[in-house]
Homo-oligomer: A and B are copies of this chain.
Amino acid sequence: MEPVIPLASASFLKCGQCSLGKICLPVGLDRDDMNSLEEIVDTGRVFQEGETVYSAGQPFEYIFAVKSGMFKTVLNDSQGSEHIASFHLPGELFGLDAIYSSVHGSSAVALGTASLCAIRYKDLENLATKVPGLQQHLFSLMSKEVHNSFTKLHEHSVDQKLAAFLVALSARYKQRGYSETRFHLMMARRDIANHLNMAPETISRLFKRFQKDALIEVKRTDLNILDLEALKELSGCCGSCD
């Protein structure tokens, strides 16, 4: 008898919208699986601007898949200053950085109205032993995250950092089926600056220059990439800038 593979059938997860979607589809599923899945995946919690999903220091129990809107994960250092580790787009998973520890090292906060699925990590882990494809997929996801972090650590000038940030966002939107050249930035300038370790003023000046050079068009939070290739070039794309 085949093991039950509940994750495959969640209404959200099965349709390929999230990072688990790819793996969920091929495994084969039926109606009966639905119920067991509902126990693992808690669909549909909605957050308002600034609401926290979890805070640093809280016990780690769930990982999260973004359904709509955007979330950010924030690190606090010993001096009390905050740093935005990453932004999370619809379909992406977050919270994986806490697996190694029993508590969260970062906090997750909604940028504007946003919703997510919560997945009990222990259940996901168990499931991954039964569904090899899921295990592979999770390894792959984390591996990619490690690789991305490595390339970010190499970035040098502010031009390069901002270009790489925009290129990466573009690629992520594209992967989820959105336009790769037109999207909303969602986050404030200050947040972008914080994330990239720059002054907000610098972001402003760079956006202006990028516009002058006909690389992009930005109006408030709307971004239109005019020359993606040039941006990639600027970012010094480390071989695989997907």
Contact = CB atoms under 8 A, between A and B. Distances in A.
Interface in A113-143: 125-126, 128-129, 132, 135-136, 138-143
Contacts of A237: 77-78
Contacts of A135: 125, 128-129, 135
A151 B238 contact: no
Contacts of A190: none
A105 B238 contact: yes
B100 A197 contact: no
A144 B101 CA distance: 8
A187 to B, nearest CB: 16
Contacts of A138: 139
Interface string A207-238: 00000000000000000000000000100111
Interface stretch (A7-15, A64-72, A152-160, A172-180): A152-160
B83 A147 contact: no
A56 interface: yes
Contacts of A99: 139-140, 142-143
B236 A100 contact: no
Contact of A197 (B75, B78, B153): B153
Contact of A146 (B83, B96, B132): B96
Contacts of A146: 96-97, 142, 145-146, 149
B154 A77 contact: yes
A153 B77 CA distance: 12
Given A146-B145, A149-B146, A76 B239 contact: yes
A225 to B, nearest CB: 18
| Max count, chain B CB within 10 A of own CB: residue among A83, A126, A239 | A239
A153 B154 contact: no
19 contacts: A73-B150, A75-B154, A76-B239, A77-B154, A79-B236, A83-B153, A85-B150, A85-B153, A97-B146, A98-B143, A99-B143, A100-B141, A100-B144, A129-B129, A129-B135, A138-B139, A142-B143, A145-B146, A152-B153
Interface of A: 56-57, 73, 75-79, 83, 85-86, 96-101, 105-106, 125-126, 128-129, 132, 135-136, 138-147, 149-154, 156, 197, 233, 236-240
